[in-house]
Amino acid sequence: MNREELLQKLEEKIRFIYGSDYKPEYLEQIEALFEKWEGQDWTEAEKPSEETVYLITYGDSIYEDGKPTLETLHGFLKEKAKRIISDVHLLPMFPYTSDDGFSVTDYREINPKLGDWSEIEGMSKDFRLMFDFVANHISQSSDWFQGYLQEDPKYKEYFVPHDPEFDASQVVRPRTSPLFHEYEGKNGTKTAWTTFSKDQVDVNVAYFPVLVDLTDILLMYAHRGGTSIRLDAIGFLWKESGTSCIHLPQTHAIIQMWNLILEYFKPNTQIITETNVPHKENISYFGDGEKEANMVYQFSLPPLVLHALTTHNGKTLTEWAKTIGKVSDKATYFNFLASHDGIGMRPTEGILSEDEKQMLVDKVQENGGKVSYKSNPDGTQSVYELNINYADALVNKDEDVSEEQQIQKTLAAHSILLSVIGVPAIYYHSLFGSRNDYEGLEASGINRRINREKLEVTQLKEELETSPRRAQIFNRMSEMIQVRKKEKAFSPYAEQEVLDLGEEVFALKRTGEGDSVYFVVNLASQETTVDAGVRGTDLLSGETVDGNLKLGPYEFVWIKE
């Protein structure tokens, strides 16, 4: 697509977004932005493949006293994980004031504790990088919001003040905090829309210069090494009176606009939407499968895998998986089990019953975890997420009594992650075999800190050698990934067929470029036998399979015909 064609398509998008408020100078501002970035050197990104595996981590998750943490993280990953990790998702690496990075004060600078842009450039030479773009909101301490409070003309309309004429009665909330907060301004009290907290103030993209600023930041991230851009909480971006103010058509159009721009400047850059909502709403960000998100977070996977391995029954997981298929040759799923946040429960709506959800809540609390809630439009509260280390969430205390069985169960969960259609993303605590961080939870009083412990690099290296738990999980997961990377059937865009081999197992057939791999995992804590109906070789053990499979507790196979 040439520049003229692109500008024509962007004009269509901007006219749709702003409707009767559209002004001809809007396109002129986009053209000026293009002139700024067209003079820079750009290189095409690499399209995801079966070799793509993301690691989810903070820039300071692995640290060494006296060194920028990004330098330490880079060195550690280069030494220990270069053969298995292709992409590193760096959770917000910018200066911030709260929420462990998700209340950014300056989108364009690196948090000095982590290092600077030179560390990012260095890491990008060994790994593809995923940057976190917290586009929906910014810190109350940011220059943008301080300018708003001080009546700076530039920032006068950068935020959304309370308006008694605006009907917010249907607004979907992910938190129990007030929707609007008050702040002391230059000329008295000012108000602003706050989806998440008082310190995280929503920006006003209905004011076009805000969208221009955000687009400029997006291009800067792509130019400075971001081959994937995660759009945090993007569903809340556009506000409109009398609506839910989530997933509005204007939000979708903005993502489509950004897709067009990135494809022009840096083809194959992955736009990844993060919307912790029911499954049908979540996958709406694929659009037509070609022109919106390149990947969508597969939020239903973590709770459904937990449910299947807790109940030893794969019926619900299997039926849900039958609705998941190839999106297109440009779009696929961003699969994960654990992350810096909790296990989202909204994505189970319409899939798990209330009793089944409550069973998971009770189990997580029994296993030392916490529960976070959200406010509903009718004034009630409901479970939003389960805060716990995923490996600890998996344990059934009355039957998973040995560490060996707990480790095998963790690997079984990740065998599903590595087998389903899409790109796998592994949280650093999962890869390194961590447990609940009660010290961090108690010291902070923040539920999510139970799974955000920072690891000292020398101690971690030692424990990966000497701790049976850390060593077994890391080494065996590494072996699984190395096997997976060789198989075209595990391409993010390869076909997937869900197999019905009995409720005690979960099974798939993946097919790509003429090769097929059959995946079967025993969900039970007891041995089971199934008729796989396939002859071939188990890629993990090298053993020959001839129809019948005898699987030990939580054992899994990848059978290639």
Measured between alpha carbons, how far is 531 from 460 in angstroms, rounded to an integer?
A: 42
Asked whether the beta carbons of 331 and 372 are under 8 A apart, the reply is no
Asked whether the beta carbons of 506 and 417 are under 8 A apart, the reply is no
Q: Count H helices, E strands: the chain?
A: 17, 23
Please list the residues that pair with 372 across neighbouring strands: 385
Angle of helix 468-484 relative to helix 457-466, nearest 10 degrees, comes to 90
Q: What are phi and psi of 521, to 5 degrees?
A: -130, 135
Catalytic residue among 87, 202, 232, 400: 232
> Which two tokens mark 272?
């990844």
> Which two tokens mark 481?
């990934």
Question: Where are the strands (E) in 9-73, listed by range?
Answer: 54-57, 62-63
Measured between alpha carbons, how far is 472 from 466 in angstroms, rounded to an integer?
A: 10
Instruction: Report CA dihedral (404, 410, 411, 417) to the nearest 10 degrees.
Output: 170
Q: Which residues contact 442 (CB under 8 A, 6 or more apart)?
A: none
Q: Which residues contact 472 (CB under 8 A, 6 or more apart)?
A: 407, 433
Q: For this structure, is 132 an active site residue?
A: no
One-letter amino acid of 377: P
CB atoms within 10 A of CB 472: 17
Asked whether the beta carbons of 315 and 503 are under 8 A apart, the reply is yes
Catalytic machinery residues: 232
